[in-house]
Amino acid sequence: MKRFIGKGILLEEEKERVLILGDMHIGYEQGIHQAGVATSFIADTCRELETIFALTGNVTTCVLLGDVLHRFAKAGNDEWRGVREIVTLLHKWCEELVVVRGNHDVGVVPLVREFNVRLVDSWTWKGYCCVHGDKDLPALHTREVHTWIIGHGHPAYRLREGAKSELYKCFLEGTYKTKKIILVPSFFGGVIGTDVSTYAVPYPWAFTLSSFSLYLIEGMQVFSFGKLGQLEKK
């Protein structure tokens, strides 16, 4: 069974439960702090994670879909403090923590040694294959895989009503060739994402997003809006 819970996906089968979360981009706030702007992204992320786990309870595995770190360079002390806080919280609620390597995660290797994290290029479980989404990988195309779960693109949708509009993080769910596809928004709260109704989202596959189903996120609630292409015709 699959459920959207806030910006997370909960997969349940038999006695196993897997929580999947999109790009965290820890360290983004350090650049803003250097510019003299006060932010609380790490604290906000931890509060949101606690809210999700209050709904899911403990899980067998938590999977982060890459870009755990924001900067391409080696993480600084402030970033590692943020990583420690978030990873400690995740370990409280999950038996295993898996990080799918993202294109920003050049400096993420110490995460494995210090925090008991499993670092992989892809992670497959009961037919679901989790990847970051910046490149195609052989694991996606195996016979056992029926569903791809992908980060990286930061999908969002601008909901319009008259002269008013607001951008929301969103999930997109559709098909590509013989596979089901779930596109996951970033978990990071500092930026909403890329408006899929206006801009091309940077994936290495030729997805026809107009045929995908749109799910908008508001807090812990997720609302179905039907096919993206039909919504754009209204």
The domain limits of the chain are 2-233
- CATH code 3.60.21.10 for 2-233: yes
Q: Mean pLDDT of successive 10-residue segments in the chain (234 residues)? A: 97 95 77 49 91 97 86 57 88 95 65 81 97 95 98 93 90 98 93 90 93 97 95 68
CB contact at 8 A, 64 and 26: no
Beta-carbon-side half-sphere exposure of residue 15 (alpha carbons within 13 Å) = 0
Q: What pLDDT does 72 receive?
A: 41
- The alpha-carbon radius of gyration of the chain (Å, integer) is 17
CA distances from 219 to 73, 106, 187 (A): 32, 31, 12
Q: What pLDDT does 233 receive?
A: 63
Range 12-42 burial, b when 16+ CB lie within 10 A, else e:
eeeeebbbbbbbbbbbbbbeeeeeeeeeebb
CA 183 to chain centre: 8
pTM of the model: 0.90
User: For residue 107, what are its two tokens?
Assistant: 């400096």
